[in-house]
Amino acid sequence: MAETETRMMKVLVDPERLSRFDFGPAHPFKVQRLALTFDLLRAYGLIDRDDVRVVALREAADEEALGFHSQGYLEALRLASSGMWVPNQFSHGLGTTDNPVFPDVYEWAMLVAGGSIDAAAALIAEDAQRSFNVAGGLHHAMPNRASGFCHVNDGVLAIQRLRAAGKRVTYVDIDAHHGDGVQQAFYEDPNVLTISIHQTGYTIFPGTGFEEEIGQAAGRGYAINVPLLPGAGDEAYDEAFESVVIPAIEGFRPDTLVTQLGTDAVVGDALANLRMSLRGFERAAERFRSLGVPWLALGGGGYDVANVVRAWTLAWGVMLEEAVPDEIPSGWMTTAAAQGVTVSRLRGPSDVPPTPDRVMEALRNSVESIRRTVLPILEDAAGRG
């Protein structure tokens, strides 16, 4: 294969091995969304192509996970996973309503992490330009505890793999919830720029991610947070991208882009209220692609299964530079309907309600704060570089 063709290869991580896991019938995290997404991609002909390589999941090794997580936490997760009672499991965030201990939860978490690490490694080897692990993006897990449906922080481990190869990384998180675990991991690292656009922590878990959180020590200026009021909508996202996200990335000049594409910001989600349209989600993916740097995409949150599968299909289409038809293949609709998912159009309605004035006013205040405190630091660093 010619070098130019090699650089255009895209890698897709197959989530099939995860289908047997289950957070429980009452839990909002539905593992079925992963297989349904993969099946929809195949139905559209977006997998069986010469420019796509599908890679199987493998469990992350302990030494990889120990790059972020403590030995004590991993041991507690492993023991709980086997059915043993762990006296201190609650201090590790395990066995809670959010973070249940289901059969083989350790294997679940390490498979997700291994997929993201390998997706990052494909970019390092330069045999792929873009890679996507739809199962990844579990951004809340902390060094010593599970949090927010996340047991192992695959995004952190993937970025650490990139950093070990000497890559400067920009991480952009568009999940409705603040990417707190990833921010914490790199809060003092000037080689990783973390950007999170999310519903304000005053109204939603995890209660963090305010514009004043900009990094510390050597990493001061390398964390950016854009909190949005409920009801934000596409106009707010467009403003955030144009005023903050794109200028910051261009100023930082990363070697690799990592994005967390949580779909819980899309209108209709059960746990958030940001009202992004599917067309707005697709537009965000197009902005990421336009940056022209190697791109690792991770999944993330999303509690309306129909939104999840459609949004990630749109994102993969953008990564392939393929115009995906809006009419969903009938064969997939039949399969999905059996699982309670009934949609026929990929992008949903074209009419998008306007963003309320109060939301835009609050956003512009945040943007002004970021422009005053963070962007000058990035500009100064770029000038020295």
- In DSSP terms, 150 is beta-bridged to 147
Residue 81 in tokens? 């996973």
Number of residues in the chain: 385
Please give the Cα distance from 56 to 271 (Å, whole number). Answer: 31
139 is catalytic: no
Residue 50 in tokens? 């010469």
Q: Which residue type does 84 have?
A: M
Give the position of tokens 């998008």: 352
Helices (H) and strands (E) in the chain, counts: 14, 8
Residue 102 in tokens? 């289901």
CB-CB neighbours of 328 under 10 Å: 20
Which one of the listed residues 139, 140, 178, 198 is annotated catalytic? 140
- Contact assessment for residue 310 and residue 341, using Cβ atoms and an 8 Å cutoff: no
Cis peptide bond prior to 103, omega within 30° of 0:
no
DSSP 307-358: HHHHHHHHHHHHHHT----SBPPHHHHHHHHTTT----BSS--S--PPPPHH
Active site residues per annotation: 140
